[in-house]
Structure 1
Amino acid sequence: MDSDNTAYYTPFYVQKLISVDTIVTVHYFEYRNTFSFAGERHDFWEFVCVDKGEIEIYDGKTWSLLRRGQIRFHKPNEFHALKANGIDSPNVIVVSFICASPAIDFFRDKTLSYTQKEQSLLAEIIAHARSLFATPLDDPYVPKMEARRTAPPWEAQLVVCNLELLLLSLYRRYTEQKPAKQTHVSSYARSSYEDEIVNASLEYFNKNMFRMLRSDEVCSIVHVSYDLLKSIFFKRFGCGPMKYFARMRIDEIKTLIRNSVMNVSELASYFGYSSIHYFSRQFKNETGMSPTEYATSIKAKTEKESD
């Protein structure tokens, strides 16, 4: 046999429908209900989506309401502004980027809804951005995002990859005329079954936000084993169900702190914590600061915004 029998193949060259050239900014904001951003324009794309609550956005012509689960795209050189509605303290994701792909024009002047899977992609963008950037993601006035010196070398590409996946997913959902023929019933059924479990779990979490829950209690409500529930949550959210519930509670507590509704002791009691020390410890584990430190940081940001 000839050991030098070289095989020749013809490569398949992939033409990328949407290619993100550069990330400009990635932000995750936890606004007070009085927040207002006067507006700006720039020569690159930006999208704004609401992770919690709702905000009012301006596109240079009219003000409109953007609710949780919606994403609004601002085209290059479009003047845009936003403000809280005076009632809700919203959590908002803002990502700006440069993209020269012709298909990106689909998003011009669009307000779209995002799915649970697309929400997971948004979460991945934020998670990798936090690992990549030394610049705080909650400062709306930074002109340049600075990378950490210790950032893993893959983080920047993962931010871009997840952003491209998000854009492709939205583009596909809103442009395809019918489901792909290759879709298997078993795959669809499994996804639908998992959606039901996740939705039932989240509904139970929301109804019991102000008390502690046990994992066996949640499993009995959604009628699955803990191993299965944990597997589904890790697939969707990157953490187990009880960790996700703890984060939901902390997010709600942060909202109340931003609105100056209760003091730390009252919050610990209201949310069913056994002690203020346990409450403060869990809050710090999730946010990197104590409830008091978080309240102080919010006050400082508010004073900076009003200067």
Structure 2
Amino acid sequence: MAYKRVKLNEEIVINQIITFHYYELPGSYVTKGEKHNFWEFVYVDKGEIDVRSDSGEFSVKQGEIVFYKPNEFHSGNSNAKFPPNLIIITFDCDSEAMKIFENKRFSVNEQERRLLTQLVNEGYNALTPRLDKPYKKEMKAKKDSLFGSQQLVKLYLETLLIHFARRLRKTDSLSKLASTMNEKKDSDLTNQIIQFMNLTLHKSLSLKEVYNNFTVGRSQLLRTFKVTTGCGVMEYFNRLKIERAKILIREEQYNYTEIAEKLGYSSIHYFSRHFKRSTGMTPTAYARSVKARIENHR
């Protein structure tokens, strides 16, 4: 029997990236704008940005992504009330299928967020300087990168774009697309828990207080939250506190003692220790690093 080979089609092919960044920006951040002959997307991981582009003026909120096609002018400013964390990737792609992303912004679902996480992790493995290094326009492949990391960046990016394209092709409008984001009961429960935690960032919180506020059993709550987010309830709550602390530091409206009080820490010393344990730097060092990013960009 003669074996026949099947040629596999490639709908979206990316062989080169230009920049790949993960930024935490202050509320005062403003850009003059730019355009370039390659694709760019910006995913808002936290906070909100205000965008001006050839396709109009609009806001991109947490959990949303916006695409800029080649040679499209665009600029983005931080929302002062909600300083953003952004994933920004620019890349070359001549595939016809990319036309679906022209003038598009939309919400990212849970599966796609996991792909984004994998993509960012491999970006750290494959590229230098670090993705969070302030405003470096030239990136290089790491000489000592993990085996296959550059190929995984390519594959994860192509896979992510294919997932996006599939969803966009199935929907007639962005409003219908947003309605499909109401995913399973597990995701709904997790979102409710996170909302509850966000409302209690001003105080200390026990695990018992969390599950006493929901009708499901303790074991089911813990299991569901762990499966959906990848971490435990109290670990997630502590992360939320640190993320909120970062925002308050970047807003530059409160001193560290006031921030500690706002987040329910018993003392500035406990807050500083917790912050350093979570981020690897003191609040003061973190504030300096954010300011350095602004100064390096001017």
Matched, 1:303 2:295: yes
Distance 1:160 1:228 in 2: 37
Q: 1:161 to 1:246 in 2, by over 3 A?
A: farther
Q: 1:17 to 1:83 in 2, by over 3 A?
A: same
Distance 1:157 1:278 in 2: 43
Alignment partner of 1:202 out of 185, 194, 209: 194
Q: Which amino acid aligns with 2:13?
A: S
How far apart are 1:17 and its partner, in Å? 2.3
SS in 1 for 2:92: strand
Q: Which amino acid aligns with 1:133?
A: L
Deviations 1:83-117 (A, max 9, x none): 12444322222111222221111101212222233
Q: Which amino acid aligns with 2:156?
A: N
Deviations 1:280-303 (A, max 9, x none): 232223222111100111222233
How far apart are 1:12 and its partner, in Å? 4.0
- Report the identity percentage: 36
Q: 1:260 to 1:207 in 2, by over 3 A?
A: same
Q: 1:115 to 1:85 in 2, by over 3 A?
A: same
Matched, 1:156 2:147: no
Deviations 1:169-227 (A, max 9, x none): 2211121269xxxxxxxxxxxx6121122112111111112223233433343455666
Distance 1:194 1:145 in 2: 39
Q: 1:72 to 1:95 in 2, by over 3 A?
A: same
Structure 2 residue runs of 5 or longer lacking an equivalent are 173-182
Distance 2:124 2:241 in 1: 21
Following superposition of structure 1 onto structure 2, how do residues 154-193 of structure 1 map, counting pairs within 5 Å?
154-176=148-170, 192-193=184-185
Equivalent in the alignment of 1:35: 29
Distance 2:160 2:244 in 1: 26
Kept in 2: contact 1:120–1:237 (CA 8 A): no
Equivalent in the alignment of 1:250: 242
Q: Displaced runs of 4+ in structure 1, greater than 6 A?
A: none
How far apart are 1:235 and its partner, in Å? 4.1
Query: TM-score, normalising length from structure 1?
Result: 0.82
Kept in 2: contact 1:129–1:159 (CA 8 A): yes
Q: Which amino acid aligns with 2:275?
A: F
The range that moved more, 250-259 or 80-89, is 80-89
Distance 2:212 2:4 in 1: 55
Equivalent in the alignment of 1:283: 275
How far apart are 1:47 and its partner, in Å? 0.5
Equivalent in the alignment of 2:68: 74
Matched, 1:101 2:101: no
Q: CA RMSD in A?
A: 2.7
Q: Which amino acid aligns with 1:246?
A: N
Distance 1:51 1:260 in 2: 21
Distance 2:61 2:198 in 1: 18
Deviations 1:141-194 (A, max 9, x none): 31222344443223333333332232122211121269xxxxxxxxxxxx6121
Q: 1:153 to 1:208 in 2, by over 3 A?
A: same
Equivalent in the alignment of 1:118: 112
How far apart are 1:262 and its partner, in Å? 1.8
Structure with max Cα Rg: 1
Distance 1:132 1:239 in 2: 25
Distance 1:155 1:61 in 2: 35
Q: 1:176 to 1:303 in 2, by over 3 A?
A: closer
How far apart are 1:229 and its partner, in Å? 4.5
Q: How many residues align?
A: 289
Deviations 1:45-65 (A, max 9, x none): 101122222212122464322
Distance 1:231 1:147 in 2: 39
Distance 1:109 1:23 in 2: 20
Distance 1:150 1:276 in 2: 40
How far apart are 1:252 and its partner, in Å? 1.0
Matched, 1:272 2:257: no
Kept in 2: contact 1:120–1:236 (CA 8 A): no
How far apart are 1:39 and its partner, in Å? 1.9
